[in-house]
Chains A and B, each alone.
Chain A
Amino acid sequence: MLAADRLIALALMGLSLYFMWYAKALPIGWVAASGPGGGAFPFWLSAIMLAASSLILLRSFISHPHEGEKFFPDADAIPQIAGVIGLFVATIAVIPFIGTYLALIAFLFIYLKFFGHHGWVLIGILTLATPVVVFFFFEVTLKILLPKGWTEPFFIPLYAMFF
């Protein structure tokens, strides 16, 4: 926990410096008779953030908070969490290519089969019903077109039917 606390504090310090450097693109000082410039708000707030996260880091060396605590109390959970994050990111990454529907079907199948260990009936119902509900709710009712990627041609008959 102590190491994680320090790492996160360091990451936040880095992030604040990055923000400060970016914010400098606009005037960060006082513009006469009109107050702070466009970059002042992000710049000085990042500076406060930098100061506070530096103090968190400094404090961790003085008072050793969270000593004896673990960042992941249950180490067995780590592969599962990493797996879910990986699956989620992969799903978003493939949406522009195979489209939302195939991506969602693959996501649900992998999630329910390998993380949930569910039976085929439940997996079948959820993976097939979800895209149908999504299509009617988002595309037909809300008129929000979801990305289809390579599967776009298969939807043309459906568009003709519902629009």
Chain B
Amino acid sequence: MEVLSLLADGFATSLTPLNIMIVILGVTAGLFIGAMPGLGSVNGVALVLPLTFIVPPTSAIILLAAIYYGAMYGGAVSSILLGIPGASTAVATTFDGRPMALQGKAGLALIAAAVASFVGGTISVILFTIFAAPLAELALKFGPAEEFALVLLAFTTFVGLGGDDTLKTIVMICLGLVLSTVGLDMISGQPRLIFGDIPGFYSGISFLVLAIGVYGVGEVLYTIETSRISPAVSTARLRMRDLIDGIREMNKMWKTMSFGSVLGFFVGMLPAAGATPASLMSYGLARTFSKKPETFGKGNIEGVAAPETANNAASTGSLLPMLTLGIPGSPTTALLLGGMVMWGLMPGPMLFIEQQDFVWGLISSLYTANLAAVLINIALIPLFVWALRMPFSVLCSMVLVLCILGGFAPSQKLHDVWLIAGFGVAGYLLRKADYPLAPLVLALVLGPLMEKSFRQALISAQGDVTFFISRPLSATFLALAAIFFALPLIKMLRRRIAKRHAPAE
């Protein structure tokens, strides 16, 4: 029961007036960011991160986590009211949410999404609380060899499970890792890849610059292209009766919701998977196990509840490896990790020993953020309907202004703003050519850790490569990594064999 007392201490941090205010502010901002088509949690965190210098580090991270949470709730709003997912994580919510809205049941769908998100969020935060400390304790045994093997494992999950083009994924991982080596070599201290002695490159390329470029500028360009026709906003009226009806309906779906939560939490932990596949899987399973599968896709409330529980649970799940192992489970948590490093809070097992107040303050704030999100979400539904009518060009211009200012503020160098413009255009083109961007951002964040642990391990083993496979934990991680890496190859071979046999039938 040590966990409970730690959690109680955590609440002492998260329930201070400043942090309660921060949570409410973050959740509200997150809800709006999530509700805007084109902007999701990752864009919100990338754009707001440079502005968080205004509060102390603990509150800054609580703010970013609250935005992350709020955006997960908000994603459903535009899925239902516009039929366009507010974030990729809310794609599955459009399947039944949009038909419900067209049938005049937008209010009920929004309540279902909010309640389901709350259930998913709460169950997953409880799972998080249970697993965090033991996992951190296990991670304490990690040396550089294990760290390297684990980072490699994280990258190979993109190759094996990412679902994107394998070659393009490999290119993006390598590009991110190479960009992370720009600056001074951490062991010899010599400059490398400074591109003709440009002074701006001596301090390396910040993860924020890449993230603001790709998720700010790149996203705006993508949105301009894809949403040139303004979609029709469904109106949602919300009466007290809808609220009672909604909660009564939701009460019948405990099985779907608890299943979606547990599934979402574990899928969310994998760096390559995360909230989008988790919500799609949860939707698929809910339909498979439903007594009336034919009603799915035509406005079944269960089809809203299933993906919404899973995507919120997945967002909590992806926080777990980030906080305990220092390996983010999603691009958004990669940015959170980068932000924590900026404030001198190095994620990983030592955080649970050295910064106990911070860790448990953050965990307990997830409980308050969830509660705040569901209440604010339901209360602000009329405001969302109004905000979604905002012209895209206003939103886009504001995002671009934030890109310039947010790029300049942390380093106070115009060099970084130029890089943002470059990464923005490049990211936009790469995205159009089906290159996945999440591995690129993750690689830039994890690159320094990967290189440091690799070289440290080899120096301590005096250059002996077998060191990595002589330690049981690192050998296990490497074996898993090899399996993930080989998965696309196995799939391809099986397809070939199936093709060869097919004409004979």
Contacts and interface: CB of A to CB of B under 8 A. Distances in A.
Interface residues of A, number: 71
A134 B405 contact: yes
A5 B409 contact: no
A145 B413 CA distance: 11
A80 interface: yes
A158 interface: no
B463 A111 contact: no
B174 A112 contact: no
A98 interface: no
Contact of A84 (B192, B195, B221): B221
Interface in B382-414: 391, 393-394, 396-398, 400-401, 404-405, 408-409, 412, 414
A126 B429 contact: no
Nearest to A8: B433
Contact of A5 (B177, B188, B190, B433): B433
Interface string B214-250: 0001001100110010000000000000000000000
B269 interface: no
Given A8-B430, A38-B190, A126-B397, A46 B178 contact: yes
A26 B417 CA distance: 28
B504 interface: no
B433 A71 contact: yes
Contact of B171 (A22, A53, A130): A53
B170 A34 contact: no
B397 A32 contact: no
Contacts of A4: 429, 432-433
Contact of B401 (A15, A77, A104, A116): A104
Closest 10 CB pairs of A and B: A35-B458, A116-B393, A38-B185, A49-B174, A42-B181, A52-B170, A77-B225, A111-B397, A38-B188, A45-B174
Given A16-B174, A49-B171, A53-B171, 19 more contacts: A4-B433, A5-B433, A8-B435, A31-B463, A34-B455, A35-B459, A36-B458, A38-B185, A41-B181, A66-B434, A71-B432, A80-B228, A116-B397, A126-B397, A137-B54, A142-B53, A142-B409, A144-B412, A147-B408
16 contacts: A4-B432, A22-B192, A39-B185, A45-B177, A45-B178, A48-B174, A95-B417, A104-B401, A107-B397, A115-B397, A116-B393, A122-B394, A130-B401, A134-B405, A142-B51, A144-B408
Interface of A: 1, 4-5, 8, 12, 15-16, 19, 22-23, 25-26, 30-39, 41-42, 45-46, 48-49, 52-53, 55-56, 59, 66, 71-72, 74, 76-77, 80-81, 84-85, 88-89, 91-92, 95-96, 100, 104, 107-108, 111-112, 115-118, 122, 126, 130, 134, 137-138, 141-142, 144-147
